[in-house]
Amino acid sequence: MVPGGPSIRLRPLYSARMARGWAIDVPVVELASVAASTDAPQRLRASRGYLNDSSRAAALLRLLETRPADFGRAGAIVLGAEHVTPVRTDGAFATLVQVDGLECIDGLQRLRAIAEACATMEPSELACAVVRLEILLGDEREAARRAYAEADRFTELRTAQDSLIDCPNIARLMRADWEREQFDPRRGMVAGLSRETYTMAEVTRALASLSGPGPDIAHEASTSEGLEALWSDRASESYRTLFHPYMEPIGIMRAVKVWRAANAALESMPLSRRNAGHGKLVTYAPAIICWEACRFLPPRELHVSASEFRWDDAVETRVGYATLETADRLIRQYENLEKGRHKYIQRAPQLSLWKDLVS
């Protein structure tokens, strides 16, 4: 072992000298011993130990066990070393790489997942798992440590919304003709001066307001956390209810118009009504009012371009009135169900109350 860290000899599939060190592609089985011991975080000068109770660490191991070919696609493991030396064998070309003074700058949890998978799986099962190692030398090691120590300040973590463009049904919607409107599920998208864009949050909540038979999906979509949960599970019944192969731009536009009309009606209510007592249902749980007000609309006709239902007329003349009538009715129902003052901000958004109000 070279002072500063252990040594390892690798049989890479590809290796190249780079400006700051080396880039090496190697089968994961070559790295089985790097993080196998309990003291590896100390020996490798890692910034943290094994996060065995972390959901992300568990997900890494599950990915390697179930989809080994995908394990190395999401980024390199960044290491440091005192020396990296090609080792020539009996053949004409160097087929081995000797790494001395090894240290881990970023990727210890992946190295641990590799050690655990290699301990329980046959090498043949992991044969297609390949990772890229970036091995930095000299002063580049400490520079990289400083950069990775504050990387979270500059990195936008991926969310469930960022993966929505991979959904075939949403991808088809993105390619469709939206005339003067625009639909793009990605975060941070804005429309041009002559086009209006529909945000993914608004589209989801609008579709949820027309879902059924109960208000469960509308409730899930009513919070940012609920939206992320809904978007993250494309196999769930909630997701498939809203985003299915039969969606059409006209259906999205109809739903959003209804949603906006209902919310505009709630905004028109006097503040004295919205902010007093049980009237705070309007402030803290507007989605249940919109959902209940939309029960007269035919959801099966939503995406039918030649629908006989007069959607535009309903938006202009019926949705607002139905929303105000529903708000008054549900506020009275709330007062009857739970008399007296209480913490409306906690109780009003609860699904159990929503179901009681519309039962």
What is the Cα–Cα distance from 93 to 86, expressed in whole angstroms? 10
Is 293 domain-assigned?
A: yes
Is 290 domain-assigned?
A: yes
pLDDT score of 179: 79
Same domain, 62 and 193: no
Q: Is the pLDDT of residue 69 over 50?
A: yes
The vertex-230 CA angle with 256 and 152, nearest 5°, equals 105
Is 2 domain-assigned?
A: no
Residue pair 319/293 in contact (Cβ under 8 Å)? The answer is yes
Q: What is the 3-state secondary structure (H, E, C) of 9-37?
A: EECCCEEEECCCEEEEEEEHHHHCCCCCC
User: How does pLDDT run across 132-146, given as a tens digit for each residue?
Assistant: 999 999 999 999 999
Which of the listed ranges 184-198, 249-263, 270-284 does the model predict with the highest average pLDDT? 249-263
Q: What is the DSSP string of 102-142?
A: -EEEE-HHHHHHHHHHHHHS-GGGGTT-EEEEEEEETTHHH
Is 307 domain-assigned?
A: yes
Same domain, 274 and 257: yes
Same domain, 354 and 245: yes
Same domain, 142 and 171: no
Same domain, 134 and 167: no
Same domain, 76 and 214: no
Residue pair 195/181 in contact (Cβ under 8 Å)? The answer is yes
Same domain, 88 and 165: no
List the structure tokens of 341: 């003052």
Q: Whole-model pTM?
A: 0.76
Residue pair 351/216 in contact (Cβ under 8 Å)? The answer is yes
Task: Count Cα atoms within 13 angstroms, Cβ side, for 143.
Answer: 8
pLDDT score of 177: 84
Same domain, 334 and 300: yes
What is the Cα–Cα distance from 77 to 60, expressed in whole angstroms? 13
The residue range of the domain holding 254 is: 160-358
pLDDT score of 1: 44
Task: Determine the average pLDDT of the residues in 178-191.
Answer: 79
Same domain, 219 and 286: yes
Burial status of residue 265 (CB atoms within 10 A of its CB: 0-12, 13-18, 19 or more): buried
> Of 125, 153, 181, which residue constitutes the final position of a domain?
153
Same domain, 78 and 173: no
> Of 120, 137, 153, which residue constitutes the final position of a domain?
153
Helix (H), strand (E) counts: the chain: 17, 10
- Tell how far CA 114 is from the center of its chain: 25
Task: Determine the average pLDDT of the residues in 258-263.
Answer: 97
What is the Cα–Cα distance from 145 to 147, expressed in whole angstroms? 5
Same domain, 149 and 288: no
pLDDT score of 191: 56
Q: How confident is the model at residue 10 (pLDDT cuts 50, 70, 90)?
A: very high
> Of 120, 153, 186, which residue constitutes the final position of a domain?
153
Number of domains in the chain: 2
Residue with tokens 């579709």: 207
Is 1 domain-assigned?
A: no
Is 109 domain-assigned?
A: yes
User: How does pLDDT run across 84-129, given as a tens digit for each residue?
Assistant: 999 887 665 558 999 999 999 999 999 999 999 999 999 999 999 9
Name residue 317's amino acid.
T
Mean pLDDT, rounded, of the chain: 91
Q: Is the pLDDT of residue 194 over 60?
A: no
Task: Determine the average pLDDT of the residues in 199-218.
Answer: 95
- Tell how far CA 223 is from the center of its chain: 15
Same domain, 294 and 314: yes
